[in-house]
Amino acid sequence: MRRKAAGKKEERRATRRAFLDANKALREGRRGLRKVTSAATMHRINDTLSSALTWGIKREAAFAKNWAQLVELPTVTRPKPLFWTPERIEHWKRTGEKPGPVMVWTPELTGQFLDFAKDDWLYELWHSFIFLSPCRGEMAALPWTEVSTDTLWLRISQQIVEVAYKLYGEAPKADSVRTLSLSLESGDHLVSFRAKQELKRHEWGDAYVETGRVWTHENGEEIHPDWMSRRFKRHVELSGLPPVRLHDLRHLAATLSLLAGTDIKVVQEKLGHSSRQITSDTYTSVLPEMMRAEAESVMAVVPRDVPFEVCTTLEIPESAWQGDIAVFFAHGARQSGRAVGVQTQPDSELLGMISLAGRGQDDAANAAVKWIRDHCTANELELVRVENFSNRYPEEQQADFSLTRFTIARSESPGQDGWVLPTGLPPSAARTARRDPSRHQKAA
């Protein structure tokens, strides 16, 4: 399926021409030069030689010493993922230079890519890369027999490797064999892709290639891992987003999990890393938002006594709740002192308002936290998270405005009976019941 690049036609042509000219100049400049072997590749080559020599010593007595073990190699430094901040994006647009070899999109940029690629044949594959953090060889080898869309899991037990563009199947390292839990959305995407495959199976008839793989071309043929990378790169170019590699989506999945508060041990198992230290060294400093969230959570647990006056009592309507969770914003503005109003959306009606004598951004945020905390205590609600979004205003406006996001939860949880699904439901109905148990409870 042909895709249109972002921007006007003339702009796309000019950008594409500049890109092709730059590539041509780069190829000319590299002509006659040998590719420099990286330190990591040197270590892999030496490990392979060392393994072969060790085998020769033990089995054939062909060598007296493993000479590969005496080779001194440069130290390998694991590259740290860098975030695409507005400043880095501006530099990339101006110069075409990436700040580092491993780049990660923000959650906002990730959403823009998913919106752009939603009509692609392999949209569900890109979604899985972003939220499940597999390697491309693992996804190329994944069979339907290792996927359950009813109990929401898939098992990584195979991978495809490429040697001189030929494909070979092999088992991944022991630490990389793992079972990944699927969200309802990920499970639904897999169901959707299987339905698309079934439709293509009927369209192609006898010409359809039966491989048993989850991810295939429209005619059923298995996908080469390198083709996945090229297809993804092309989509990124067309979207106009700052460049990331397909493998960088693995780093993106890890940072999104950490940003969501997932324990690093869980992230390690999700990635298939051999140790928690590898995960920690690679990801703990990647996300500025993560560090801000930590600082903001500290602000939430140390309430400050900022006097304020309630102008309008806070009332959270039922429409603001998504199940047992409600998210809303407290927006502070400098007037005669400070006023803080609560809204579910920037253009929605006020749910309540307070005023305070303090004039600083911190005073408004602390008063809002105490106000919401008191409201939760009085109404048997739980304050789950507080996030300070004030730095999203331009620097010259930050002294006049504050923005704090609150996530609260109802304290009451359904009893054991509330989670019991009726027996005898078909798989599709069971999935629906997991999303909305009340539908089947009412029917029962």
pLDDT one-digit tens code per residue, 391-434? 666 666 666 777 888 889 886 544 444 444 444 444 444 444 44
Q: Is 431 helix (H, G, I), strand (E, B) or coil?
A: helix
CA distance 147 to 158: 13
CA distance 214 to 228: 14
Q: Is 7 left (phi over 0), alpha (psi -120 to 50) or beta?
A: left
CB 349 within 8 A of CB 332: no
Nearest to 356 by CA among 329, 375, 374, 332: 332
CA distance 389 to 333: 14
Amino acid at 332: G
pLDDT in tens, 268-302: 777 777 666 666 666 655 555 555 554 444 444 55
CA distance 168 to 182: 27
Amino acid at 422: P
DSSP assignment letter at 96: -
Position 426 scores a pLDDT of 46
pLDDT in tens, the chain (444 residues): 445 555 556 776 777 777 778 777 877 777 766 667 778 888 889 988 998 888 888 876 777 888 888 888 888 777 778 888 888 899 999 888 899 888 989 888 999 999 999 999 999 999 999 998 888 999 999 999 999 999 999 999 888 877 666 676 766 666 678 888 898 889 999 999 999 999 999 999 999 999 999 999 999 999 999 999 999 999 999 999 999 999 999 888 887 777 766 777 777 777 777 666 666 666 655 555 555 554 444 444 555 567 888 999 999 988 888 888 888 888 888 765 678 899 988 778 899 999 887 656 677 878 888 899 889 989 989 888 887 776 666 666 666 777 888 889 886 544 444 444 444 444 444 444 444 444 444 333
CB 397 within 8 A of CB 426: no
CA distance 229 to 141: 15
Q: Is 11 helix (H, G, I), strand (E, B) or coil?
A: helix
CA distance 214 to 417: 36
* Terminal C-alpha separation, the chain: 45
Phi, psi of 106 (to 5 degrees): -75, 165
**Partners of 342 in beta bridges:** 330, 352
**Please, is 242 exposed, middle or buried when counting C-beta atoms within 10 Å of its C-beta (0-12, 13-18, 19+)?**
buried
CA distance 92 to 98: 6
CA distance 180 to 188: 15
Dihedral sign from CA coordinates of 272, 278, 279, 283? negative
CB 328 within 8 A of CB 343: yes
**Partners of 329 in beta bridges:** 343, 405
CA distance 171 to 241: 35
- State the pTM of this model: 0.58
Position 386 scores a pLDDT of 82
**Please, is 92 exposed, middle or buried when counting C-beta atoms within 10 Å of its C-beta (0-12, 13-18, 19+)?**
middle
CA distance 244 to 390: 28
Residue 319: which residues within 8 A CB-CB, separation 6 or more?
none
